[in-house]
């Protein structure tokens, strides 16, 4: 399980999601600490780095541009457009003119002439998917991006987009406690030869065994508004960890490693991109590619974490309306 492929390029099985180095979980780490994580990732052989125009409202791309520039030719760099920060607020905008402005800014921020994989971060439902992807296809022809991806879309939307231009990857939330891609998108990706890039593969810390108390989370931590972390759901969901703890002890690995290993066993097209602000956690995550699970262990995890056993939706109602993915 040491390798995966996106857009015809071979990469390591586990990449690095860079969002939380600048965004979404309260006060981000200092630039020095973030740089240490990125440099450690390079030293450990990570070659797939994922960012977005939204993260830190451009600051995450600038961080990666500054730190990764000397290593650019050996890396697979992904970013996203279609959801950015405007006047301090998150805005979904898939109009071709907006995507054009975003790519120019992203190239400047990332200090690169080309982005290996450029996702439409969200499908703007006010704009036909064909129009947004059509503009991205122009960027491919111009050599500004090498491949097109989509994020949080349904199999039906993926099919429409793929008819306009080949889609190299779909990025969506996928983990033991978020199994929605198994409804249709995972198979749809396999059918067209696209990668399924799994964000939040550790359930935003839940699958690491973290005791996440929403009342103690800092301001700006998006988990404060997520239903699954509220007490009425969190108490039930914690019971799922019993099997995970037991199996991790049998395999002599961490909960995070077991969770990531399960994902890697879901198909060669699945590419997890866990994020972290800690070098020790980064090292732990990367080692997950060495964990092997047999059929009975996989079956046990599938049964315990069946979608019917998960309490609470993954997003608040307003956010749920913004995405296009199939839901159980």
Sequence-distant (6+) residues with CB within 8 A of 294 are: none
Q: 């190299």: which residue's tokens?
A: 168
CB 202, CB 274: distance < 8 Å: yes
d(CA 4, CA 27): 33
Distance in angstroms between the alpha carbons of the first and the last residue of the chain = 29
**Residue 326 CA, distance from chain mean position:** 17
Token readout for 103 is 């790519």
CB 154, CB 324: distance < 8 Å: yes
What residues pair up with 78 in beta bridges, in sequence order? 50, 117
Q: Around Cβ 206, how many Cβ atoms within 10 Å? A: 25
CB 153, CB 183: distance < 8 Å: no
Sequence-distant (6+) residues with CB within 8 A of 205 are: 212, 223
CB 44, CB 283: distance < 8 Å: yes
55 assigned to active site:
yes
Phi-psi sector, 88: left (phi>0), alpha (psi -120 to 50), beta: left
Token readout for 113 is 């002439």
Instruction: Please identify which of the residues 55, 119, 174, 315 carries the catalytic annotation.
Output: 55
Which residues does the annotation mark as catalytic? 55
């Amino acid at each position: 399980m040491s390798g995966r492929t996106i857009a015809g390029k071979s990469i390591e099985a586990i990449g690095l999601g860079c969002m939380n180095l600048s965004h979404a979980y309260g006060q981000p780490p200092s630039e020095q600490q973030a740089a240490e994580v990125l440099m450690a990732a390079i030293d450990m052989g990570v070659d797939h780095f994922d960012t977005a125009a939204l993260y830190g409202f451009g600051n995450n791309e600038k961080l990666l541009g500054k730190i990764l520039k000397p290593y650019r030719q050996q890396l697979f760099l992904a970013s996203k457009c279609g959801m950015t920060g405007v006047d301090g607020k998150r805005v979904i905008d898939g109009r071709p003119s907006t995507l054009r402005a975003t790519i120019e800014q992203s190239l400047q921020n990332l200090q690169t002439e080309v982005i290996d994989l450029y996702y439409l971060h969200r499908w703007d439902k006010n704009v036909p998917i064909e129009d947004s992807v059509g503009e991205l296809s122009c960027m491919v022809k111009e050599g500004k991006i090498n491949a097109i991806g989509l994020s949080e879309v349904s199999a039906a939307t993926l099919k429409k987009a793929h008819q306009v231009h080949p889609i190299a990857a779909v990025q969506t939330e996928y983990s033991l406690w978020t199994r929605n891609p198994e409804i249709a998108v995972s198979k749809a990706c396999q059918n067209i030869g696209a990668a399924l890039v799994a964000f939040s593969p550790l359930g935003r810390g839940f699958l690491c065994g973290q005791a996440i108390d929403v009342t103690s989370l800092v301001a700006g931590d998006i988990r404060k508004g997520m239903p699954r972390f509220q007490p009425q759901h969190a108490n039930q969901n914690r019971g799922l960890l019993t099997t995970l703890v037991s199996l991790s002890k049998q395999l002599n690995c961490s909960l995070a490693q077991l969770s990531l290993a399960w994902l890697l066993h879901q198909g060669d097209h699945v590419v997890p991109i866990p994020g972290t602000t800690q070098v020790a956690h980064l090292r732990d995550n990367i080692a997950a590619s060495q964990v092997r699970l047999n059929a009975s262990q996989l079956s046990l995890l599938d049964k315990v974490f069946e979608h019917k056993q998960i309490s609470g939706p993954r997003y608040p109602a307003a956010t749920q309306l913004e995405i296009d993915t199939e839901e159980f």
